[in-house]
Amino acid sequence: MTSKSLPSPLEQHRSDYARRIVSRGVIVVVVALMVLQSVPGSLAERLERSRVGRMLDRSGLWQRPWTLFAPDPKQELVWLSATLVTKDGRLIDWISRDWESTGAVDKFFQFRHMNYVTRFQNPLTQDAIDDFARYLGRTQLPAGEVREVQLYKNSIKLLMPPDGTIPSREETLRSVSILPIARVQFAEKSSELSRD
């Protein structure tokens, strides 16, 4: 058997020094890229279309515009709800997850689900909306119990004053809307669905 000797203190110091230099270099590059993409105006747009922007997108470091903060805060809160009608006529209500009260760990592992509702605002996604209504019909109650699923897009929108200023809490006006976006019916003798 050969015995392996421990590295000398000088070798250990060089190894630790090289590791620190590499980790600091990575941090400097990431921070520099984040600063570059957060600058206002056309520089950020050009960066997004460049090779660096594509690299940031693939690596997951691209942040996209942050619409939650000034000067352009998010002005609409959207969620889904559904009414499931059973074969015996009962109405079962379903409401999508409240992401504001969800913990950070759950948000991290389910980040794709958070954007799911916002994808339904595009009229080109009607097939996906219908599929989601069918999914609810298959998963919320035992098989064969659902006769119809009605899916709704609910929203609370902040109405901005004409001058574009953000009003105080007491002066805030909100508009509440509930729009039907899908209605699917289960056929009586099979698990197939028919669309109205």
For 92-149, what is each residue's pLDDT tens digit? 999 988 777 788 888 888 877 777 766 776 667 788 889 989 999 999 988 889 999 9
Q: CA 84, CA 91: separation in Å to the nearest integer?
A: 6
Contact 71, 113 (CB under 8 A): no
Helix (H) or strand (E) run with residue 9 in it? helix 9-38
Rounded to whole angstroms, how far apart are CA atoms 64 and 187?
A: 43
Q: What b/e string do you get for 56-73 counting C-beta neighbours within 10 Å, with b at 16 or more?
A: beeeeebeeeeeeeeeee
Say if pTM beats, i.e. exceeds, 0.85: no
Percent of the chain residues past pLDDT 70, beyond the cut: 74
- Cβ–Cβ < 8 Å for 129, 120: yes
What are the Cα distances from residue 94, in Å, to 109, 120, 157, 163? 22, 17, 22, 39
User: Alpha-carbon distance 131 to 122, whole Å?
Assistant: 15
pLDDT on residue 194: 47
pLDDT at residue 64 is higher than 80: no
**134 touches 146 (CB < 8 A):** no
